[in-house]
Structure 1
Amino acid sequence: MQPSDQDLVLQRFHRDLISGSHILHYHNVLDAFGHLSVRHPLNPQIFILSRNTAPGTISSPNDLIEYYIEDARPVDPSAPTGFIERCIHSECYKRYPEVQSVIHSHSEAVVPYSISGVPLRACFHMAGFLGTNVPIWDIADAQQPEDISDLLVRNQHLGSSLAASFSGIASGSISPEHVVALMRGHGFTVLAGSIQDCVMRAIYTQKNAAIQSTALSTRSTGTTVTGPVKYLSQKEVDATTWSIAKSAHRPWTLWLREIEASGLYANSA
């Protein structure tokens, strides 16, 4: 029997989700922890996330689980064990209908900006999407007395609070004002309109953090300081975000070749 057009669409999304997870591992954005998800291409009330395993080891559709966005409940009650933090994904999809992909990372280059009091800001043109300030979400502000204080987003009310931080806690907007939010002492979360854009934003968030750390350390060790670090202006942020989006296919194609050549990853989707 020939696969239907809908089967082919879902197969492509499965393959991209698995490849995206491998790319993020290859670039050290994800290690044994963290996760990438996508909104179901045929049912916007469902999202797809891998089972509870290291992202680099995902290899087939059997490793993927479909969840209802409404409550992060698996569509198949007999599905394998999933990630505790799947409410990060469900609540972002619920709040922002335009969001099609979400990544949660514990990148060691980014975490310092969640705890140091130094704002993470766009430093180079590839990270213009970060804007002139990146929000920091502190789970302690959202926890209820019965919540476990391990910094994990274990339930809907914590996920909802995190999702709100992309628009400002008091905002009721259905479009995020920010596409990256830092999580105090934990990592960061990225939103995008496709798997490819989400992966690119996550990788360049990490690269931007490394560049900013280098710039700040250079200032502290130099003998002469002539002025503050010169970050991208709002005008530059707007222009680079638009122009770089036009070239998103270029890194994705390269990154696919990298993971295919590495010999570490398998993708049967």
Structure 2
Amino acid sequence: MAAQTHSPSDDAILRQYYRDFISGSHILHFHNVLDAFGHLSFRHPFNPGVFVMSRNAAPGTISSPGDLIAYRVEDAQPVDPNAAPGFLERCIHGECYKKYPSVQSVIHSHSEAVVPYSISGVPLRACYHMAGFLGASVPVWDIADAQKPGDTCDLLVRDTHLGASLAAAFSPGADHVGGDAPQSVVVLMRGHGFTVLAGSIQDCVMRAVYTQKNAMIQTTALTTRAADPSAAATAVRYLSQKEVDDTTWSIRQSAHRPWGLWLREVEACGLYVNSA
């Protein structure tokens, strides 16, 4: 990542961001939210017009600030024109930061537990208290609705046009300007995966992990119900709007607990290196 001039206290803050970013990438791999693909980013703490991602590499292998690249929010192009090759889908991140100034971290995942809810017509809904942030239902974005004639149809968000369409799906029908936050913090991507937004790296990682866990719980509930004829007339009971609101608030109060545990797990694993 290109060198920048900061005060000693600013440098310490940036080092912590880098360390949290690398740890977050490792945690997401450890929990199978990211494999060799997918990515995490954060908005630069001293320059909101810049966001930071890793170079084009598997998240579990990122190990130092030298693996990180700063991009302009405006066009998702690297601040340093000589930067290492980056992720093709960085426009997912850039356009979300552009549309929602309150968003400070973005994750894009191809979780196999979540993808079925992007193609089955069954809505992903909050099933348990750790996933109240999902809301009453999770929007599904179909890239086919946003593509132009001649676009490559590989379901990848290759440019700012597609990234802007995805970003808009977090607030369907809403005209968000200024410092507004998205209506939804998770959007499913048809046949591809999901993207999650948050106000910090830690919150974004937690939401991504619990989105996957919620999908696994919902699938188990649906298949268990389908296997029991006596339950055919009984609907799966999801969180109410009041429960969604209250659990989202209450879980925020203890967000440090999973982060601290997950840090210890990746530090003790022996697979990951974090030299930031």
**Aligning the two structures, in what range does the TM-score lie when normalised by the shorter sequence?**
over 0.9
Asked whether 1:197 is paired with 2:203, we answer: yes
SS at match of 1:203: helix
SS at match of 1:172: coil
1:172 maps to 175
Q: State the TM-score, normalized to the length of structure 2.
A: 0.95
Asked whether 1:97 is paired with 2:101, we answer: yes
Asked whether 1:249 is paired with 2:253, we answer: no
The aligned amino acid for 2:241 is Q
Q: State the TM-score, normalized to the length of structure 1.
A: 0.98
- Alignment deviations for residues 186-224 of structure 1 (CA, whole Å, 9 cap, x no partner): 000000000000000000000000000000000110131
- Alignment deviations for residues 93-120 of structure 1 (CA, whole Å, 9 cap, x no partner): 0000000000000000000000000000
1:23 maps to 27
For 1:262, which of 252, 257, 269 is the aligned residue?
A: 269
CA distance in 2 between partners of 1:3 and 1:24 (Å):
31
User: Which 4+ runs in 1 deviate beyond 3 A?
Assistant: none
The aligned amino acid for 1:148 is T
- Alignment deviations for residues 104-152 of structure 1 (CA, whole Å, 9 cap, x no partner): 0000000000000000000000000001110000000000112110000
Aligned length: 267
Q: CA deviation at 1:227?
A: 1.0
SS at match of 1:224: helix
CA distance in 2 between partners of 1:139 and 1:111 (Å):
14
Asked whether 1:33 is paired with 2:62, we answer: no
CA distance in 2 between partners of 1:3 and 1:243 (Å):
36
CA RMSD of aligned residues (A): 1.0
Asked whether 1:230 is paired with 2:237, we answer: yes
- Alignment deviations for residues 145-179 of structure 1 (CA, whole Å, 9 cap, x no partner): 121100000000000000000000x3112320000
CA distance in 1 between partners of 2:51 and 2:7 (Å):
22
SS at match of 1:103: strand
Unmatched runs of 5 consecutive residues or more in structure 1 = none
2:154 maps to 150
For 2:121, which of 117, 121, 125 is the aligned residue?
A: 117
The aligned amino acid for 1:249 is H
The aligned amino acid for 1:134 is V
Asked whether 1:133 is paired with 2:140, we answer: no
1:161 maps to 165
* Fraction of identical pairs, as percent: 72
